[in-house]
Amino acid sequence: MTSATDSIESLLIQARQSSYALATLSTDQKNQALEAFAQAIETHADTLLAANASDLEVQQGQIAASMYQRLKLDKGKLSQLVQGIRDVVKLEDPTGKVLSKTLLDDGLILEKISVPIGVVGIIFESRPDVIPQILSLALKSGNAVVLKGGKEATHSNQAFMELVHQVNRRFDFMPEGWAQLLEGREAVHEMLNYPQYVDLVIPRGSNQLVQSIMAATKIPVLGHADGVCHLYVHPSADVAQAITIVIDAKTQYPAACNALETLLVDSAIAQDFLPPFAQAAKQAGMVLKGCEATRALLPDIAPATEADWRTEYGDLTLSVKIVESHAAAIDHINRYGSHHTDGILAQDSDAIENFLNQVDSASVFANASTRFADGFRFGLGAEIGISTAKTHARGPVGLEGMVIYKYKLRGQGHIVKDYTGEQAKPFRHQPLS
């Protein structure tokens, strides 16, 4: 952790140096450290929960309910974190893979090899469970990390980092400084000024956080600004099944970025679907806001405005809109959505395929809750974050999103001069793998 006397630049230099050492660790060494980290969380569960209780006490009534829910740890969350780390242990090491091998000419061989990104800065808000998720993926992929959590989770974050220090002391092959925890907003702003040491920044939090990070740095930024997720009820939908899915997508964990925010209902099924859905929604404690056509069927709900179609509520509020067609639903999602996770509820296979192909989102689902958009549920072990970008990584970002590649060329005295001019030798460009 940083202190008032620490130099951010020296800390980042240490992270950079440790990334070189981390990249040379064997798969077995990384897995040993990961298992030790999982065991430490199990052994010190009471200590972690006590630290989290201190944060919860300080923040009671001081932050939004959705943030407070994200801040809270319990034995179930810790158990899931441990399982996630052990799932990462089981995953194939993403580094050192030969992605391609090409014979350029006799004795001149080019390889494309997967390698760690290097140093990754992770900035997140009140979710202390993010730390073990990030650290497990970073370690398995050979990346050094610089973490900055929200001040709301100060005690929880420090408790997790103390376990990291224990693991570091246990194994002499672990480089000092591969995982750093920054404190204070000023430290983040200073880190963002060092693209020569930090290779990638991943902000996890509100739209405001992501946008502010993107505007403040020349370092590449990977993330998503909003989680405005949709479900579309097609005329062929099974009404009972659709209601169950919608309720789960909204209420299972409404503060999550993959929770449902807008429900689109085809006009051809609205009369059959909306009344029983509204009854189920009321029982689940949901608050509905609807377009004019929706309120004609559900007159007791509040009106939705244009702003509602772009709103990530993070609570039990759901906006509902009746659309005239399948095409209109897709158009609405592509226009108002955040390209995070969107789904269709239908039995018509052609409609499903059309939706999955035309909706421009990182994750597109059919007859499933949007809450499945998660690295753990996708089998990634955990996730470093969720990206709506179209470069490098998209959707839940696991191990594959934590590596890049480099080229290795092996020759035997080859020079470019021999391959230029009138007597130029031709390249063979023969794939070897």
pLDDT band at residue 376 using 50, 70 and 90 as cut-offs: confident
Chain Cα centroid distance, residue 312: 17
pLDDT one-digit tens code per residue, 407-419: 999 999 999 999 9
Name, in order, each residue with C-beta under 8 angstroms of 40's C-beta and a sequence gap of 6 or more.
163, 166, 167
pLDDT at 3: 42
Same domain, 167 and 240: no
Are 134 and 275 members of one domain?
A: no
Assess if residue 188 is contained within a domain: yes
Q: What is the pLDDT of residue 204?
A: 81
413, part of any domain: no
**Cβ atoms 97, 408 nearer than 8 A:** no
Determine, yes or no, domain membership for 42.
yes
Residues 89 and 186 in one domain: yes
Residues paired with 365 in a beta bridge: 343
- Where does the pLDDT of residue 6 fall: very low under 50, low under 70, confident under 90, or very high at 90 and above? low
Q: Please indicate, yes or no, whether the overall pTM of this predicted structure exceeds 0.85.
A: no
Count the domains in the chain. 2
Domain assignment of residue 316, given as a range = 229-372
Q: When comparing pLDDT for 396 and 238, which is higher?
A: 238
Q: What percent of the chain has pLDDT over 70?
A: 98
Question: 227, 353 in Cβ contact below 8 A?
Answer: no
Instruction: Determine, yes or no, domain membership for 390.
Output: no
214 and 284 inside one domain: no
Q: For residue 352, give the CATH number of its domain.
A: 3.40.309.10
Sign, CA dihedral 290-296-297-302, equals: positive
Residue 2's pLDDT is what? Answer: 44
Give the residue from 372, 387, 422 where a domain finishes: 372
| Same domain? 94 vs 213 | yes
Q: Based on the domain organization, do 105 and 125 belong to the same domain?
A: yes
146 closest CA partner among 178, 173, 124, 175: 178
**pLDDT (mean) for 42-52:** 97
- For 117-143, what is each residue's pLDDT tens digit? 999 999 987 788 889 989 999 999 999
pLDDT value for 385: 78
Rounded Cα distance, 371 and 247, in Å: 11
Check whether residue 73 and residue 100 sit in a common domain. yes
Give the pLDDT band (50/70/90) at residue 211.
Answer: confident
**What is the pLDDT at residue 1?**
45
Give the whole-angstrom CA distance, residue 34 versus residue 139.
8
Same domain, yes or no, for 260 and 207? no
Residue 412: inside a domain: no
Query: pLDDT for 58-112, tens place per residue?
Result: 999 988 887 888 899 999 999 999 998 999 999 999 999 999 999 999 999 999 9
* Pair (49, 181) in one structural domain: yes
pLDDT of residue 125: 75
Same domain membership, residue 264 and residue 174: no
Same domain? 203 vs 267: no
Give domain status of residue 289, yes or no. yes
Give the pLDDT score at 311: 94
Whether the pLDDT of residue 342 is over 70: the answer is yes
Question: Is 161 a member of any domain?
Answer: yes
Would 422 be classed as within a structural domain?
A: no
Task: Give the list of residues 6+ apart from residue 357 with CB closer than 8 angstroms, or none.
Answer: none
Please check whether residues 204 and 298 belong to one and the same domain.
no
Mean pLDDT of 392-421: 92
Tell me the average pLDDT of the chain.
93
For residue 178, the domain's CATH number is 3.40.605.10
